[in-house]
Amino acid sequence: MPIVDHPLQDATTFATLNRQLEERSADEIVQWATQEYRGQIALTCSFGGPSGMVLLDLALRHDRDIPVLVLDTSLLFPETDALVIAIEQHYGISVQRVRPALTLAQQANLHGAELYNHNPDLCCKIRKVEPLNQALKPFGAWMTALRRDQNPTRANTPIASWNERQQLVKICPLAQWTERQTWSYLHANGVPYNSLLDTGYTSLGCTPCTQRPLSADDARSGRWVGFAKTECGLHL
């Protein structure tokens, strides 16, 4: 594994690093990340899609103390809330629930009821993006389970990159993985996953903005149906 100089913000350094990481397995990348940034790295997991559960399982194999963060928008499916609790029991960890500054009632007072129906970008900003920005402030690195095959907007996801917004290193160990690999890992390792994925959902977010996919070729086609929006903004 490469030894990198800090701060790791230089594009040339990242290009060199990524050339090396592209040759490594996801497990090796997680091992490198958890060693390189031990005590400074956090993992975010939506507890919706399957790849987050793979990454969580891999990360805990290498670092039992890695902070695991979930964005609790107060609009998650009950099945997602149940999975968070199941994971805490399965691994003996405590998941950090990152909550927005505004309750749903406060948000409705300020911006109108059901903001997700008329301005989902603002709703995501309040309930996801800003809370994540705050939650990641103490950390120097952030590990997340983006895959290149999830969406055309994610097709060029680098394994490691400097994230200007959060001022930290963002690491996507599963960038090269496919949906099939993800499910093979979950089944082979008995990793708990969201029960809604057995009922036709392929990508899960908040209840008002999630349907079963409209297209079998696009796992995220059930998200924000009726809007041009395809991302909540966490990864833009």
Give the DSSP letter string of 179-224.
Answer: HHHHHHHHHHHT----GGGGTT-SS--BGGGB-S-SBTTBTTTTBS
Nearer to ligand SF4, 120 or 222 (CB): 120
Does residue 220 touch ligand SF4 according to CB under 6 A? no
Six-digit token string for 72: 């609790």
Judged by CB under 6 A, which of 21, 98, 124, 197 binds ligand SF4? 124
Does residue 49 touch ligand SF4 according to CB under 6 A? no
Nearer to ligand SF4, 131 or 173 (CB): 131
Stretch that binds ligand SF4, among 56-64, 101-109, 154-162, 201-209 (CB under 6 A): 201-209
For residues 75 and 104, the answer to whether their CB atoms sit within 8 Å is: yes
Nearer to ligand SF4, 51 or 176 (CB): 51
Is 232 a known active-site residue? yes
Return the residues of window 64-103 that contact ligand SF4 according to CB under 6 A. Answer: 73, 75
Place of tokens 């160990």: 173
Which helix (DSSP H) or strand (DSSP E) does residue 14 occupy? helix 11-21
Does residue 104 touch ligand SF4 according to CB under 6 A? no
Does residue 133 touch ligand SF4 according to CB under 6 A? no
Six-digit token string for 100: 């927005």
3-class SS at 37?
A: coil
Nearer to ligand SF4, 190 or 226 (CB): 226
Q: How far is the CB of 207 from ligand SF4 (least distance, A)?
A: 7
Judged by CB under 6 A, which of 91, 208, 218, 234 binds ligand SF4? 208
**Residues contacting ligand SF4: total by CB under 6 A:** 13
| Closest by CA position to 129, among listed 23, 10, 236 | 236
| Closest by CA position to 145, among listed 52, 23, 35 | 52
Does residue 206 touch ligand SF4 according to CB under 6 A? yes
Six-digit token string for 81: 């809330």
Does residue 148 touch ligand SF4 according to CB under 6 A? no
* Bridging pattern class, strands 41-44 and 68-71: parallel
How far is residue 166's CA from residue 189's CA, in Å, rounded to a whole number? 33
Q: How far is the CB of 208 from ligand SF4 (least distance, A)?
A: 5
Q: Which amino acids are annotated catalytic? A: 232
Which residues are near ligand SF4 by CB under 6 A?
73, 75, 116, 120, 123-124, 127-128, 205-206, 208-209, 232
